[in-house]
Structure 1
């Protein structure tokens, strides 16, 4: 199935969703790619508004909870000295390109969400490196040069509506390209220490497992809290993307922009299963 890296041009995707007339459910989008690839690294590039609004903070929580890494930088205000017109600038194309090239050894398939032809040199460079290159956008907002570029697998998001549409959202789309496609609940409480829940695997690191959770926060199940008696230096060798973990909340850190929780495994059967995989 291979390893996939998803790179999302957030500002471009905002206009794509507005053109389509529906919004993306980013949890469903992640699930879609996890059904195709063995592992998925998802990166969301978006200008950062200041101060951070409650809507944008909630959107960041949702993205992080479902395994997305958010890359942002402050929006710059550029004033035309002749006209006095203020132009807002917050392009992250360079950051996306640098990250994609520097991390190319970590993935087999490069997936871009953008219809911008400025990314064609990047796509060509990745093709030369032997990567599968896939682009998601929609007709009418995709550059002709991008559609005609050989060796690129282009997919129209309109054809994925049934798989990835945000079906419950009644929120209006925002103009800043940030809070898009999420059914947000700003009053969603953080969990209590000792509270239990079941989470599926979002990402596996050598030191721990990041889990989905009902609180829309960053959730880490550390290696030391798995109850494995055998020594293991790298969890990626034994944890599968289809695994499900029953855990208990051990620590809650609400001091960050995106709250984080640390959990412990309470399912002895799963601990025994992981131990057996080490033996195997």
Structure 2
């Protein structure tokens, strides 16, 4: 699939493309845990400019965070990271608190957490549709297939970045190309460490 990317880039003029990147943080986190390394987000814009002959790259980042007091570790680092992405790197950050839902069963009460950001991502994809000609999705969710088909039918190029263990077959084959982010050296930085407890 890498050859397809290279073929596409050769067909486009330098700085002729506008790339919008939409990152599902939960999907990326699964890759981080598997690789045992952090993503170097500061390298993403330069990577996409170089590999897609892009004059402009805009990156959207979607994440849900735990409610204060629900974790044994400090959450300040999470919020500092959001600030770094927004103010330091110029990303658009969409975030919301995880929704805690109480489930009663014969085994007693349990809490599940939900923080799906699919709607927020779809809104941004559609709201900005006239601004880009290439869309990049960091996701493995087959629910995005209908959106991707819509974009492609409208003349957009769509590429999927994920990992082989975190992507549906439908999404992997549903765009104009797929890359396994674990194979892209520029994306990876320092080793993953255990969180410090409070």
Counting only pairs closer than 5 Å after superposition, residues 56-67 of structure 1 correspond to structure 2 as: 56-64=78-86, 65-67=88-90
Counting only pairs closer than 5 Å after superposition, residues 1-150 of structure 1 correspond to structure 2 as: 1-35=16-50, 36=52, 37-51=54-68, 53-64=75-86, 65-82=88-105, 83-149=108-174
Q: Which has the higher helix share?
A: 2
C-alpha contact 1:24 1:164 (8 A) present in aligned 2:
yes
TM-score by length of 2: 0.79
1:156 aligns with 2:173: no
C-alpha contact 1:4 1:111 (8 A) present in aligned 2:
yes
Instruction: Pick closer, same or farther for the CA change 1:116–1:173 going to 2, 3 Å.
Output: farther
Instruction: Pick closer, same or farther for the CA change 1:2–1:142 going to 2, 3 Å.
Output: same
In 2, the alpha carbon distance for the partners of 1:44 and 1:73 equals 12
RMSD: 1.9
In 1, the alpha carbon distance for the partners of 2:38 and 2:192 equals 10
In 2, the alpha carbon distance for the partners of 1:172 and 1:100 equals 34
- Tell me, which stretches of 5 or more residues in structure 1 are unaligned? 175-280
- Tell me, which stretches of 5 or more residues in structure 2 are unaligned? 1-15, 69-73
Greater length-normalized contact order (CA 8 Å, ≥ 6 residues apart): 2
In 2, the alpha carbon distance for the partners of 1:14 and 1:173 equals 14
Which position in structure 1 is the counterpart of 2:10?
none
Deviating beyond 6 angstroms after TM superposition, the runs of 4 or more aligned structure 1 residues are none
In 2, the alpha carbon distance for the partners of 1:105 and 1:173 equals 41
In 2, the alpha carbon distance for the partners of 1:173 and 1:33 equals 30
